[in-house]
Structure 1
Amino acid sequence: MATIAIQLPYTKGPEVLQLTTDKHCYAKEAKLAGTVIEEARRVIGRAREVIGRNREEFNVANSANIPHMEVPTGTNIVANDVKRAVNDAVEAVENAVKIKIDASKPDNAGQQSAYEETFVRAYTNATTKIDEATEATARVHQAGVRYDKAKEKTVLVVGGGVSGLMTAWILLDKGHRVSIVAKDWAETGTEAKGITSQIAGALWEYPPGSCGLSEIEVPVLAYSKLEQYQEWAMQSFLFYERLQTVAGTASGSTASGSTASGSTASGSTASGSTNLSFGARMINLYQFFHHNYSNEGTATAETKAGANANEHYQKYIRIRDLGRTEGSFRDKLQTSIWDATGEPNGSGEWVNALAAVNSTGFGLKWGYRHRAPVIDTDAAMKFLMELVRDKGAVLETREIKGDLHLHERELMDDFQADIIVNASGLGAHTLANDDQIFPVRGAVKRMNMPHPFLEDNAVLLPAQYDIADNPSKTIFIVPRREDTLVVGSIIQRNNWDLSLTHQSPEVMAMWERAKEFITHLQENRGLGEDERPLAQGLRPFSHSNVRVSADNRTNSCRVVHNYGHGGSGWTLAVGCAWTCVKLVEMILHEGKSGSVANTEVWGLKQY
C-alpha cells in the first residue's frame, strides 16, 4: 500500500488529500491508527518543550530525554506516516540542540556569529517540522473520527468515466460505501472501442486549454469561472506528479513491508493490492505560435492575431510565475521560452524541439515549454476500475433515462443510497435536464513512435491565426506510452456521429497537416498510422462551463453534479472530484442543504 498525501493549493484552510493506492480505506486505516495518536502527541509535546515559544526560550536542558516515536510491529502505513513525521521533527530539534551545544564550546568562541546564523536556520526548520507533525497527527485523528460517520453512508455515483471513478476513489478512502452505475465502461486490451475518458488525448494543460474551442465561456450565470478551472487543474497536476513519484519509488519495496516512502511494489503487491500502474508520467510540453506578442504582454495589438498571441503570452507568464513562487509548485513546472528573433535555431533543450518542427514553413515566431503530466488512459482506466472494486465499490451496468431528479427516490431505494453523484458527462443533457450540454466530436490517430525525442516531449500548435491571418486548426502530438504516439486533433461542435475512418476527409487533412508540421513524421514510414483503429469520441462541453455543485431545485434534493469538463476531463478530474466530495460530505454529515453547501464552497450562488 502507498499513501498519496497532497497539500491542496487554493482551498480554504490547510486541506490535504490523503488516498491509498490499494484496497485499503485510508479513513479506516486512520481509525485503526488512532492508538498511536496519544504517543505522537506526547513526543511532539516534549519537542515543543525544547523549542519554546521563540528562540530566546530554546532550552537545551529539556532535550536530555526527548524520545523518538515507536509504533508496534505490524502497524499500518497511516500510523507509520505519523511516526515518520514526528521523528523528522525530533531529528530537526536534535540538530538545533547540537548546534547550540557546539556553539557553547570554548574552541568555538570566535565563531559565534556563524553559529548563530546556523542555529536560526535549524530552529526555523525544527519549528516547521513540529508544526507539520502536529498537522499530520490531527489529520489522521480527524480522518478516524469521520470514518464512523462515513461508513454509515452510501453514495451512488452515476458515470464510469474518470470523473466518476476519481470521485468514487476519494469517497471510498473517506470510508463511504459506494455503488457506481454506468451505461458503458472502459474496455481494456483493445484500441477498437472505449469511452470518452479512455480515448482522450489526456495531456494536462493549464486552463484555458488550446483545443481551438472555447472551453470556458463567460455567461453571467456560469457554473464556474476560469479561476476555478485553474485551481482544479493545479490540484490535478500535483496528484499526477505525486502519483508518478509514488509509483517510481514503489519498485524498491517489498510486498509485506514498506519503504521509507511507505510504498509497496509495483506489479506483485501485497495480497489483494491493486497493481500500482496508473500510467501517469511527467513530460515536456512545447507550444508554438505564429505571431509575436507585445513586450509587455498586453493586448495592445490592433489585429485579432496579435491579441491572441498576447493572451498566450499572459498564460505563459502565469505558468512561469507559479513555478517560481514558494509553495506546492516551486520548480515543478520548469518553464522556458524561445524567441525566433534572438535564437532562430534555439539553444539548450530548444535545439531538439525546433529540429522536430517545420518552423520556417509554419512561420513560427516564439514558443514556450513547461513540464506537464500525460496519462496512458488505457492503463489509468483499468487501474481506477480495479482500485474502486478492490476498495469495495459495487459496479453495475445500467442506463438511466430521464431527469435524475425524477428518479432520485427510486434510485436511492434500489441502491440503499443516501445521496447521488451525477458524473455522467454528455448524459447530463437529460439526467440533469441541462440544455447547455453539447457534444464536440474528436478523433486522434495512434501510431508507432517515430523518433526518440517524441517519447518524452509533446508538441502543440494551438488553434490561432496562421501567418496569413486565417484561423488555423490545432496540431496535437503527444506520447501515449514510450512506444506509442497520439496525433490529433479533430474538433467538431454539435456532431454526434462516430463513424469516422482513416479515410474520412477531415482525418486525412488532420494527418497531412501533422506530417507537414512534425519533421519526424515526414522522415519515417511504417508507423502503422492506418493500422490501429481510429480513436474517436464525444467531448462533453457546456455553454455554462464545468458544473460541480449540488442540485438545488428543491431543498430536499440529494444530487451533486460533476460534469461538463469538455476536452479537459483528465486535467480537471482530481480537483473537481475533491470539490464534489466536499459538497457530498457537507450535505451528508453536516445536514446542509444543496444551496447552503454551494454557497459555502464557492462563496456565490450556484444556478
Structure 2
Amino acid sequence: MSFTSSASEIYLTRVGEELVLNEGVNLATKFPPVKRVLVVGGGVTGLTTTWALLDAGYDVTVVSEKWASLSDRITSQIAGALWEWPPAVCGKHTNLISLDNSKRWCLTSYRALDKLMKTLPVEEHGVRMRAANFFFEQSLNDMPGQLEKMNEIEAEKEIQGFLHDPTLVTKHAVNQKAGVVDSYRHLAPVIDTDHYMTWLRYIVSKKGARLVTAKISGDLLAQEDKLLAKYNATAIINCTGLNAYETAADKTVLPLRGALIRVINDGKKFPKVTEALCVSHDDTHGADAEDIVFIVPRNDRTLILGGLVQPHVHTLDLTINSPEIVRMRERCNAFVPGLEKAELDPDPFVQGLRPFREANVRVEREQRLRPDGSISHIIHSYGQGGSGFTLSFGCAADVMGLLEELEAEIPYSSRNVVTHAHL
C-alpha cells in the first residue's frame, strides 16, 4: 500500500478541549523539538496520540510489540470502526461521567475525520462518510434510553443527515422476520481499518516518530525511571489497551471478545449495501442475549457482518462455523435480501478482544506515587473498548492537556530534553 500525501499537508492543534485537524504548514514544528515523550502502544489510540504530540512539537518514540499488517492484524484492525454516538452498539458504559466524556471525545473525532475526508482523497486514508441506520424492535417512545440517545444525536447539528423515520425499515427491505419497527439514521465516518492504520503509521513516521518494535511487560510505574532514562523522555503515555491489566496494574480491565465476517459487496450475489445497518442490544432480552446486528460496508468491495460481544473471554478459538458465529450471520441475513448467498471475502473471518474497563475509559494521570514519593510521569489512555476510532482524537486531546499539566509540575532540572545527539 503506497501513499502520495505529504505529512506536512495536515496537522493537529489543540484548541481548548478540541483537537482540530488543519490543512497547510504547521508553524509549531518549525524549530527542532526540545522534549521527548514515550508512547507505549501502536494501536489507533497510541498512534493518534503520537500524531497530536508530534504536531505540538514533541519528539516521540512509540514502542509496540506489533504493528498493523495484513498477515497478523492487531486489535485496531479488527474493529468494526463505524463512528457511533455512545454508548455504541457493541459498547458499554457503567457511569455517567465516562459517558459524558465519551460524547465529548466522539464529537472531536467526528469533526477531525470529517475534515480529513474533505482535505485528502479517500484513497489516502480509507475513511468514508456513510449513512448509518439504527433499527429497534419497539417504538423509540417506549425505549427511554434509546430515545434519549436519538434526541442527543438530533441536537448535535454537526452530526450530518439525521432522520427519524420508521419507514426506513421498509425502504431497506428489511425482512419482517427481523422484528424491527422503528429506526433513525445519520451520516457517520466509516474507517477501513487495514487501510487507515497503515496510513496512520505512515503519517507519524513521516512526521518524525521513532517506531520501536518491542514488548514492555509489567507495571510501568515500577520501571518508570528506567524507561524515562532509556528513551530520554519527559513522560510516558500508556496506550496499551487490554495489556493495561498489567502495564497499569488495573485489574478492572477485561476483554470483550468480538468477531467479524467479511463478504464481497459487489452487487452480484445480493443488492450492494452502501449504508450501515445496526441493531443495538436490548436489555429486556437479558444481559446474555445475542441480538446485536452490525452490517457495515467497509470499502467499495467489502461488507463486514458482526454483532458479537462476549465479556471475560480471553481465547481466540472461534471459527466461521462456531455456533455463535452462525447465529450472528443468520441475524445479519434477515436484514439484507439475498445476503445468505454472499460470496466470502478471501480473508473471511477475523476475531479479537476489545479492551474494556469496568470503570470505563481511562484518560488520566497515574495516581500512584513513584517509589521515592514523587509524582509519576505516566499518563494513561486505555479502555476504549470497541470505540477506539470513535474516541481516538478526543482522547488524544485530553492526553495533551494532562501532559501540559504534568510538565507544569516537573522541576526544570529533572526534565529530560532532546539534545542534538539524540536527533
For residues 83 and 389 of structure 2, what CA distance do their matches in structure 1 show?
A: 7
2: CA distance, partners of 1:469 / 1:570: 25
Aligned to 2:274: 456
Say whether the 8 Å CA contact 1:202–1:570 is kept in structure 2: yes
CA displacement at 1:353 relative to structure 2: 4.0
**CA shift at 1:318, angstroms?**
0.8
| Correspondence for 1:415 | 231
Asked whether the equivalents of residues 441 and 493 of structure 1 are also in contact (C-alpha less than 8 Å), the reply is yes
Contact 2:14–2:397 at 8 Å: present in 1 too?
Answer: no
Q: Does 1:314 find its partner at 2:148?
A: yes
Distance 1:465 1:412 in 2: 46
- Match of residue 216, structure 1, among 90, 93, 96: 93
Deviations 1:567-602 (A, max 9, x none): 1111101100111112112222x2369xxxxxxxxx
Structure 1 counterpart of 2:94, which letter? Answer: E
Q: Shift of the alpha carbon at 1:227? A: 1.0
Residue 376 of structure 2 corresponds to residue 561 of structure 1: no
> Residue 484 of structure 1 aligns with which residue?
302
Question: Counterpart in 2 of 1:28?
Answer: 29
TM-superposed CA distance for 1:518, in Å, is 2.2
Find the partner of 1:229 among 102, 112, 116.
Answer: 102
Where does residue 354 of structure 1 map in the other structure? 172
Measured after TM superposition, the shift of residue 175 of structure 1 is 1.0
Equivalence for 1:3: 10
Alignment of 1:260-339 (within 5 A): 277-294=124-141, 306=142, 309-323=143-157, 329=158, 332-339=159-166
The question of 1:510 aligning with 2:328 is answered yes
Equivalent of 2:353, from 538, 541, 544? 538
- Cα displacement (A) at 1:7: 8.7
Deviation at 1:25, TM superposition (A): 5.6
Write out per-residue CA displacement over residues 426-457 of structure 1, whole angstroms, 9 at most, x where no aligned residue.
Answer: 11001000001001111001110054975431
Query: Helix, strand or coil: the match of 1:519?
Result: coil
Q: Which has the higher strand share?
A: 2
Q: Secondary structure at the match of 1:556?
A: coil
1:441 to 257, 267, 287: 257
Query: 2:136·2:181 contact (CA, 8 Å) conserved in 1?
Result: yes
In the alignment, the residues of structure 1 paired with residue 263 and residue 213 of structure 2 have an alpha-carbon distance, to the nearest angstrom, of 32
Separation in structure 2 between the aligned mates of residue 277 and residue 314 of structure 1, nearest angstrom? 36
After TM superposition, the structure 1 = structure 2 runs for residues 156-175 of structure 1, keeping only pairs within 5 Å, are: 156-175=38-57
Task: Give the root-mean-square deviation of aligned CA atoms.
Answer: 2.6
Q: Is there any run of 5+ residues in structure 1 with no aligned partner, and where?
A: 30-146, 249-265, 267-275, 295-305, 324-328, 340-345, 594-607
Number of aligned residue pairs: 398
- Using structure 2 for the length normalisation, give the TM-score: 0.87
Q: Is the 8 A contact 2:13 2:52 kept in 1?
A: no
Which secondary structure does the structure 1 equivalent of 2:150 belong to?
A: helix
Partner of 1:204: 83
Using the TM superposition, give the Cα deviation of residue 471 of structure 1 relative to its aligned residue in structure 2, in angstroms.
4.1
- Tell me the amino acid that sits aligned with residue 405 of structure 1: L
- In 1, the alpha carbon distance for the partners of 2:283 and 2:376 equals 46
Report the counterpart of residue 133 of structure 1 in structure 2: none
Structure 1 distance, partners of 2:367, 2:262, is: 43
Cα deviation digits, residues 539-588 of structure 1 (max 9, x gap):
00000110111112124210000000011111101100111112112222
Q: Distance in 1 between matches of 2:29 and 2:271?
A: 45
1:429 aligns with 2:276: no
Work out whether residues 464 and 472 of structure 1, in 8 Å CA contact, stay in contact via their aligned partners in 2: no
- SS of the residue corresponding to residue 296 of structure 2 reads strand
- Amino acid across the alignment from 2:67: W
In structure 2, distance between residues paired with 1:568 and 1:579? 16
Mapped to 2, the partners of 1:310 and 1:497 lie a distance apart of: 36
Q: Report if aligned partners of 1:6, 1:242 keep a CA contact under 8 Å in 2.
A: no
Q: Structure 2 residue aligned with 1:364, among 150, 159, 180?
A: 180
Distance 2:29 2:285 in 1: 59
Counterparts of residues 66-77 of structure 1 (less than 5 Å)? none
Q: Which has the higher contact order (CA 8 A, sep 6+)?
A: 2
Contact 2:263 2:348 in 1 (8 A): no
Distance in 2 of aligned mates of 1:468 and 1:584: 42
* Residue among 365, 369, 372 paired with 1:550: 365
1:291 and 1:467 in contact (8 A); partners too: no
What letter is aligned with 1:337? Answer: H
* 1:382 partner SS: helix
- Work out the percentage of aligned pairs sharing the same amino acid: 34
CA distance in 1, matches of 2:54, 2:13: 17
Name the structure 1 match of 2:214.
398
Cα 1:6–1:369 shift into 2, 3 Å = farther
Whether the 8 Å CA contact 1:352–1:453 is kept in 2: the answer is no
Call closer, same or farther: CA 1:516–1:582 in 2, change over 3 Å: same
1:168 and 1:388 in contact (8 A); partners too = yes
TM-score (norm 1): 0.62
- Equivalent of 1:244, from 106, 110, 117? 117
- Letter of the structure 1 residue corresponding to residue 126 of structure 2: G
**What displacement does 1:320 show?**
0.7
Q: Tell me which of 576, 579, 601 is aligned to 2:398.
A: 579
Q: Which has the higher helix share?
A: 1
CA contact (8 A) 2:35 2:59 kept: yes
Evaluate the alpha carbon distance shift between residue 456 and residue 517 of structure 1 in structure 2; reply closer, same or farther with a 3 A threshold. closer
